[in-house]
Amino acid sequence: MEAPLQKLEDDLLKEQGVALWVKREDLLHPHISGNKWRKLKYNLKAAKQQGHHTLLTFGGAYSNHIAATAAAGKAYGFRTIGIIRGEEHLPLNPTLAFATSCGMQLHYISREKYRLKDEPGFLKEVQQQYGKVYMLPEGGTNLLAVKGCTEIVDDITIDYSHICCAMGTGGTLAGIVAGLAGEKAILGFPALKGGDFLRQEVAELVQDYNGQNYHNWHLITVYHFGGYAKVKPDLLAFMNQFKQQHNIQLEPIYTGKMMYGIFDLLKQGYFPAGSIIVAVHTGGLQGNAGFEQRLGLQV
């Protein structure tokens, strides 16, 4: 499995004297795509080593992490249980239909209860109900996930000045920061509104992972388009045009916003001439099936 680099050709890049490469993590695996594969890798190993037969995790109804965990369980011989936020809606949306087809057992809980999912009482209840399970947090972010994400930068063979990555929980960015150990300029693009809190989350994850505190990364928090999973016509138009020009499919939650942000920063002259940017395509394309009908996204 490989995540090759693809160079983009664009007039704006030429004008600015900047090179932009896309790290195609979306090509790592057909169903366990992008950063979710990186985040699961060492967790699956740990689960096997500890003698677990069941993975249990959490997510919303369109979660890439739910889909990836279901596919990974099927591929590597684990039973999977997905605790889904909110009520069941039938027919299942494409994400949950896929998870079910991989054998994932879905369990719906109210939004109120979902908020308490990290409390000890809730975890105890889950253990009582499902027995011995290997628990993956929401979005799959833990220290083994950070370890997996350090490997995103291991196979970048070109010399570069900047690396960009979309953010949900910040686990992937933490891995990139730890993996680069103070080298390069690292830009994180939160998909959520008010993503400033992620500074602390990432700093703590890196600190817990290797005890270090790096200063070569920062967050660009303005390209959230109204919030997580909020999709604006501007963004869809950009993604459709990007696909036509570069033949790379993006999705509107994470990678679309990051790439829009990179091009907007380019227009503003943010990147000095001579910059070589690597943009990480973190995958997540499974979610587009749900957006396709609703929003006229070309996939």
Residues that bind ligand PLP (CB under 6 A): 34-36, 64-65, 139, 141, 166-173, 254-255, 282-284
Shortest reach from residue 104's CB to ligand PLP, in Å: 17
Q: Which is nearer to ligand PLP, 33 or 80 (CB)?
A: 33
Shortest reach from residue 298's CB to ligand PLP, in Å: 18
* Whether the Cβ atoms of residue 187 and residue 217 lie closer than 8 Å to each other: yes
Q: Which residues pair with 185 in a beta bridge?
A: 162
Q: Which is nearer to ligand PLP, 16 or 238 (CB)?
A: 238
Residues in the chain: 299
Shortest reach from residue 274's CB to ligand PLP, in Å: 28
Shortest reach from residue 17's CB to ligand PLP, in Å: 28
CB closest to ligand PLP, residue no: 284
Please choose, from the candidates 43, 138, 39, 30, the residue with its C-alpha nearest in 3D space to the C-alpha of residue 82. 138
Read off φ and ψ for residue 18, nearest 5 degrees. -120, 140
Rounded Cα gap, residues 19 and 32, in angstroms: 29
Rounded Cα gap, residues 241 and 266, in angstroms: 17
Q: Is the peptide bond before 91 cis (omega within 30 degrees of 0)?
A: yes
Q: Which residues pair with 186 in a beta bridge?
A: 163, 217
Read off φ and ψ for residue 196, nearest 5 degrees. -60, -30
* Whether the Cβ atoms of residue 129 and residue 195 lie closer than 8 Å to each other: no
Q: Which is nearer to ligand PLP, 22 or 166 (CB)?
A: 166
The identity of residue 278, as a single letter, is V
Q: Which is nearer to ligand PLP, 73 or 195 (CB)?
A: 195
Q: Which is nearer to ligand PLP, 20 or 191 (CB)?
A: 191
Q: Which residues contact 266 (CB under 8 A, 6 or more apart)?
A: 12, 13, 16, 18, 20
Q: Which is nearer to ligand PLP, 16 or 251 (CB)?
A: 251
Shortest reach from residue 136's CB to ligand PLP, in Å: 12
Shortest reach from residue 226's CB to ligand PLP, in Å: 17
Q: Which is nearer to ligand PLP, 132 or 193 (CB)?
A: 193
Question: Which residue is it, tokens 């975890």?
Answer: 123
Rounded Cα gap, residues 284 and 267, in angstroms: 27
Shortest reach from residue 118's CB to ligand PLP, in Å: 15
